[in-house]
Amino acid sequence: MKREFDFEQPIADIEKALEKLKNLADRNEKDINGQIEALQRKLEESKTEVYGNLTPLQTVQVVRHPQRPVLDDYIDLVFSDFIELHGDRCFGDDRAIIGGFARIDREKVMLIGHARGHTVEENVERNFGMARPDGYRKALRLMRLAEKFNIPIVTFIDTMGAYPGLDAEERGQAEAIARNITEMARIEVPILSLVTGEGGSGGALGIGVGDAVLMLSNSIYSVISPEGCASILWRDASYSAQAAEAMKITAKSLLELGVIDEIIPEPPGGAHADYVNTAGAMTPIILKYIKKLAPLSPPKLIARRFDKYAAMGKFNK
Amino acid sequence: MPWFIKSRTKRDSQRKQADEIWIKCQKCSSHIFKQDFIDNHNVCTKCGWHGKITAYERIEMILDKGTFNEFNKKIRPSDPLKFVDGKGPYIDKVEKARNQTGLNEAVVTGAGKINGIPAVVAVMDFRFLGGSLGSGTGEKILQGSAYACSRRLPYIVFSASGGARMHEGILSLMQMAKTCAGIARMNERRLPYISVLTDPTTGGVSASYAMVGDINIAEPGALIGFAGRRVIEQTIKQELPDNFQTSEFLLEHGFLDMIVERSRMKDMLSSILSYYNR
């Protein structure tokens, strides 16, 4: 099996040995099954070991794997009865943020998220998950709709950032994100946000002000991309490893900083290698938070959300 | 001492003397008397270009004399990530900025009167780490809105910022949500919030409290936008319009109520606030 990342070499070595043994087994060699089993165990251990100790920059590599599951995959594997709703009622229908009604187990939710693709064609259609103001305005419209239907909002965050383009600036990228962040503070139904891929700065936060925020174990969430930070503070984008390290962008760091509530563990080998178990790990945790937030009255919910964000940050006084 | 060094020293000192008297406008390149520029609150006397001013200078211009009561003066950055970049530790930069500006954070907040009308103000200062939005900055801006809520006062925030403070990582991003939660609470209580955008207001500050004023006002010619010009040029591989991301561009596209010159700002703010029945 081909492995893409340098740090996966120990896994690749075991896989190669395993392949050899299996070929021998095919030729009716005896007493090999025990060895195969042992090696398979070692393979799993090695995956756990390697993926349990990724550096921040290696995590960035994993999170950008082209086969990492995207929102469409989760819609298939985690949710059912998805009814997509289109358009921002101002300008257009951004394909980089999609949303609509969905069910998870027996719970009804408004699902909103950044949409990327796996292939170039899909990604061009989705603008690589980089939304324009129209996407953020559609998201806010759907959140208001969720209030009317009295169902919780679940947002999936997976974007390098909001789209940096002329048209986006003309239509008010900053205003659209600012409006969402402001209005999300007062939305009267529970908001649960999951960072499943890259949580790219304001483009992520624009749908990410949640009562609870969760992260997949190999996802990242940061104020600027490691490359962007390196090119400004090191004056050289090649220092992205240092920038990734310094900015504390991994799920583990964000949990320690109190910015997120829980980490959803990905299967050994990463989400890109095992969609079914990634979705399987995600579903019960989403349900747990939906049930936890459901009894809170709107005033309680809003006060709690305000207090949570008011307490963010560390300073001296 | 050789003659050539001697003469250069002389020329340097002459130039230095000249720099103390004259200033070159960054827009029209005219040489203007420095004292005239300062007296004109850092606005070019020839072309009207608005240079940056410090937070306290602006407070002096906007608030009635002797009415300013400053809040949270001691709030200053900590170093939650123990951040070190190519040029050294964040905490050293903070100390340098504190020494150079006499400020503890990138914003000065407090209450005062504008032509007799009480209001809460937050004024950002670009000299302090590029006016970047850090945890302390966000806290002060939130506290300003909390005070406005408690006294039912209008809130005016003057922005001057390159965006979120990367040295505080994700915590700086969260200040966008924190400050906007304060604005949301003002909205809920029907209290007016005026955002004044000055040069520059970009990135995370434009994408949070600066852009959601009930009334958005900008100074002329200010750089206001979300993404950096260079990033956009690289993305779309097209030339951008000359007035791209200026106050004038934003007014044209419907994101500002008005552009107001610095000299008229105080009177415009008090005229607007005079319509507010407290």
CA–CA dist B54, A73 (Å, integer): 52
Are residues A261 and A176 both part of a single domain?
yes
Q: What does the DSSP assignment read for B28-87?
A: T--EEEHHHHHHTTSB-TTT--B----HHHHHHHHSPTT--EEE-TT-EE--TT--EETT
Residue type, B43: V
Is A315 inside any structural domain?
A: no
| B183 and A CB contact within 8 Å | yes
**Contact between residue B242 and residue A191 where contact means Cβ atoms under 8 Å apart:** no
| B252 and A CB contact within 8 Å | no
How close, in Å, is residue A97 to chain B by CA atoms?
18
Q: Region A195-219: what's the mean pLDDT? A: 98
| B66 and A CB contact within 8 Å | no
Q: Where in chain B is the domain with CATH 3.90.226.10?
A: 52-276
Reading phi first (left if > 0) and then psi (alpha if -120 to 50, else beta), residue A306 is in alpha
Are residues A46 and A123 both part of a single domain?
no
For residue range A92-125, list pLDDT tens digits in order: 999 999 999 999 999 999 999 999 999 999 999 9
**Contact between residue A5 and residue A61 where contact means Cβ atoms under 8 Å apart:** yes
Are residues A41 and A176 both part of a single domain?
no
- Tally of CB atoms within 10 A around A254: 25
Q: Which residue of B has its CA nearest to A245?
A: B83
A212 phi and psi angles, rounded to 5 deg = -135, 140
| A260 and B CB contact within 8 Å | no
- Tens digit of each residue's pLDDT, chain B (278 residues): 555 555 556 667 777 777 788 999 999 999 999 999 999 999 999 999 999 999 999 999 999 999 999 999 999 999 999 999 988 999 999 999 999 999 999 999 999 999 999 999 999 999 999 999 999 999 999 999 999 999 999 999 999 999 999 999 999 999 999 999 999 999 999 999 999 999 999 999 999 999 999 999 999 999 999 998 888 988 888 889 989 999 999 999 999 999 999 999 999 999 999 999 98
Q: Look up residue B41 and give its two tokens.
A: 């609150």
CA–CA dist A196, B126 (Å, integer): 35
**Contact between residue A233 and residue A212 where contact means Cβ atoms under 8 Å apart:** no
The parent domain of residue A14 ranges over 6-53
Give the pLDDT band (50/70/90) at residue A4: confident
User: Which one of B174, B231, B233 would you mutate to disrupt binding with A, by most A Cβ within 10 Å of its Cβ?
Assistant: B174
A30, pLDDT greater than 70: no
Strand partners, A114: A97
Given an 8 Å threshold on Cβ–Cβ distance, is B166 in contact with A234?
A: no
Is A245 inside any structural domain?
A: yes
Is A182 inside any structural domain?
A: yes
Q: Look up residue B226 and give its two tokens.
A: 């979300």
Q: How is residue B164 annotated by DSSP? A: B
Q: Is the peptide bond before B200 cis (omega within 30 degrees of 0)?
A: yes
| A248 and B CB contact within 8 Å | yes
| A52 and B CB contact within 8 Å | no
The closest alpha carbon to A154, from A94, A113, A202, belongs to: A113
pTM (2 d.p.): 0.94
Q: Under CATH, domain B52-276 is a member of which superfamily? A: 2-enoyl-CoA Hydratase; Chain A, domain 1 (3.90.226.10)
- Where would I find the beta strands (DSSP E) of chain A? 80-84, 97-104, 107-114, 153-159, 191-200, 212-216, 220-222, 262-264, 315-316
Structural domain total, chain A: 2
Given an 8 Å threshold on Cβ–Cβ distance, is A259 in contact with B164?
A: no
Q: Which residue of A has its CA nearest to B82?
A: A246
Residue ranges in chain B assigned as alpha helix (H): 3-21, 34-39, 55-62, 90-101, 135-151, 169-188, 203-206, 229-236, 247-252, 262-273
Are residues A211 and A122 both part of a single domain?
yes
Are residues A74 and A198 both part of a single domain?
yes
CA–CA dist A262, B201 (Å, integer): 34
Between the CA of residue A165 and those of A127, B147, B230, what are the distances in Å? 11, 38, 11
Strand partners, B109: B71, B122
ipTM confidence score? 0.95
Is A121 inside any structural domain?
A: yes
Residue type, B88: G
| A287 and B CB contact within 8 Å | no
**Mean pLDDT computed over every residue of chain A:** 95
- Tally of CB atoms within 10 A around A66: 13
For residue range A247-281, list pLDDT tens digits in order: 999 999 999 999 999 999 999 999 999 999 999 99
| A175 and B CB contact within 8 Å | yes
Are residues A190 and A77 both part of a single domain?
yes
**Residue A96 pLDDT:** 98
The closest alpha carbon to B175, from B55, B73, B80, B68, belongs to: B80
**Helix, strand, or coil here: B227?**
coil
Is A304 inside any structural domain?
A: yes
Are residues A188 and A69 both part of a single domain?
yes
Looking up residue A213, the CATH number of its domain turns out to be 3.90.226.10
Are residues A47 and A82 both part of a single domain?
no
| A247 and B CB contact within 8 Å | yes
Given an 8 Å threshold on Cβ–Cβ distance, is A315 in contact with B77?
A: yes
Given an 8 Å threshold on Cβ–Cβ distance, is B173 in contact with A174?
A: no
Are residues A123 and A39 both part of a single domain?
no
Close Cβ partners of A198 (under 8 Å, ≥ 6 residues apart)? A63, A64, A158, A159, A160, A204, A219, A220, A225
Task: Single out the residue in A15, A31, A53 at which a domain terminates.
Answer: A53
**Residue B153 pLDDT:** 97
Is A316 inside any structural domain?
A: no
Contacts B170 to A, Cβ<8 Å = 221-223, 247-249, 253-254, 257, 259
**Contact between residue B182 and residue A313 where contact means Cβ atoms under 8 Å apart:** no
Are residues A43 and A78 both part of a single domain?
no
Q: Look up residue A12 and give its two tokens.
A: 């690749």
